[in-house]
Amino acid sequence: MTERTVLMVVHTGRDEATETARRVEKVLGDNKIALRVLSAEAVDRGSLRVAPDDMRARGVDVTVVDADPHAAEGCELVLVLGGDGTFLRAAELARNANIPVLGVNLGRIGFLAEAEAEAIDLVLEHMVARDYRVEDRLTLDVVVRHGGRVIEQGWALNEASLEKGPRLGVLGVVLEIDGRPVSTFGCDGVLVSTPTGSTAYAFSAGGPVLWPDLEAILVVPNNAHALFGRPMVTSPEATIAIEIEADGHDALVFCDGRREMLIPAGGRLEVTRCVTPVKWARLDSAPFTDRLVTKFQLPVTGWRGK
């Protein structure tokens, strides 16, 4: 019986994914490392056209599992082949199993990925040798209250995005930090972000970039109708609360753009640091500054260094 197992999560339907996934299957098979794939991707993998039976015929020890909270149990790593959306989906599975997640970018920007697809052989070399370090990334607990009781709970790696409903008017909110009111204003929404998520939706909404090793929580009002509708960086131990006007309309909160919760009028969103981080597999020690410049294609012409 194989002792080592890796869960592979793939953005299906891409030609590049076909070649990359088959390379993963071959290298893991050659090194007697079992592969686990998700049932939705194994049944219909689009242009990937790789079925579990085909993998087994090539000598790969493969198991098909559902994408439930137990999908990654017993694995040493979750390998992601895709963009940031695929990474966020895989990070949830890795977090449930308390194992690292490693991303290979097959998308456009792929800010969360550790490597590009053309470096897959180097990635696999590190995986086989277990030659990577693991960083803990801060996550958020997200709670919805109404009438004094908890009605919804969730978590986020990037951000919890409070948003008004479709085709509805301005959302009236009261922002509270550590039990004290900060400001009442109308807005399209409010984002509560981690440093990891500061380069995602929060950045598009006008928030600052936070280095991922910084421990903090970022609050970004989205199109606020107020003079004090500016981004704020708080302590990682802060409790961020946003109350919805009782005579207003319902709102929605999206965790990482994936998990949706309803906040009724008069409800309250509370966001705090979560005790369970996402474990991030890192292959190199390149500074975050270099990643920022590369991913956003920032001009650095004229830099002379020291």
233: number of Cβ within 10 Å: 17
Buried residues in 190-218 as b, exposed as e (16+ CB within 10 A): bbbbbbbbbbbbbbebebeebebeeebbb
Mean pLDDT of 231-242: 98
Q: According to the annotation, is 89 in a ligand binding site?
A: yes
The pLDDT value given to residue 51 = 63
Instruction: State whether 88 and 168 are in the same domain.
Output: no
CB neighbours of 28 closer than 8 A, spacing ≥ 6? 6, 34, 35, 60, 124, 128
Polymer length in residues for the chain: 306
Instruction: State whether 151 and 56 are in the same domain.
Output: no
The pLDDT value given to residue 17 = 78
Q: According to the annotation, is 199 in a ligand binding site?
A: yes
Choose between 93 and 168: higher pLDDT: 93
> Domain containing 225 — which CATH number?
2.60.200.30
Verify whether residue 84 is a known catalytic residue: yes
Tell me which of 22-26, 97-101, 130-134, 141-145 is least confident. Answer: 22-26
Residue 302 lies in a domain: no
Tens digit of each residue's pLDDT (9 = 90 or more) over 172-226: 999 999 999 999 999 999 999 999 999 999 999 999 999 999 999 999 999 999 8
Instruction: State whether 173 and 223 are in the same domain.
Output: yes
Q: According to the annotation, is 203 in a ligand binding site?
A: yes
> How far, in Å, are 10, 201, 221, 226 from residue 109 at the CA level?
16, 14, 25, 33
Instruction: State whether 118 and 147 are in the same domain.
Output: no
Q: According to the annotation, is 200 in a ligand binding site?
A: yes
CB neighbours of 124 closer than 8 A, spacing ≥ 6? 23, 24, 27, 28
The three-state secondary structure class of 119 is helix
Instruction: State whether 84 and 206 are in the same domain.
Output: no
Tens digit of each residue's pLDDT (9 = 90 or more) over 32-41: 999 999 988 8
Choose between 233 and 227: higher pLDDT: 233
CA distance 106 to 109: 9
The pLDDT value given to residue 50 = 54
Tens digit of each residue's pLDDT (9 = 90 or more) over 44-89: 555 554 566 677 777 678 888 999 999 999 999 999 999 999 999 9
Domains of the chain: total: 2
Instruction: State whether 71 and 55 are in the same domain.
Output: yes
The pLDDT value given to residue 59 = 67
Q: According to the annotation, is 149 in a ligand binding site?
A: no
Say which amino acid occupies 89: R
Instruction: State whether 126 and 162 are in the same domain.
Output: no
Q: Which domain holds residue 60?
A: 5-137+278-296
Query: Which residue, 266, 257, 241, is CA-closest to 172?
Result: 266
Instruction: State whether 45 and 104 are in the same domain.
Output: yes
Candidate list 30, 68, 84, 213, residue with the active-site label: 84
Tens digit of each residue's pLDDT (9 = 90 or more) over 8-33: 999 877 777 778 888 999 999 999 99
Instruction: State whether 239 and 283 are in the same domain.
Output: no
Q: According to the annotation, is 237 in a ligand binding site?
A: no
Instruction: State whether 146 and 219 are in the same domain.
Output: yes
Structure-token pair, residue 239: 């409790």
Whether residue 20 contacts residue 81, with contact meaning beta carbons closer than 8 Å, is answered with yes
Whether residue 174 contacts residue 246, with contact meaning beta carbons closer than 8 Å, is answered with no
The pLDDT value given to residue 166 = 79
Residue 303 lies in a domain: no
Tell me which of 15-29, 96-110, 286-300 is least confident. Answer: 15-29
Q: According to the annotation, is 254 in a ligand binding site?
A: no
The pLDDT value given to residue 42 = 76
Instruction: State whether 238 and 172 are in the same domain.
Output: yes
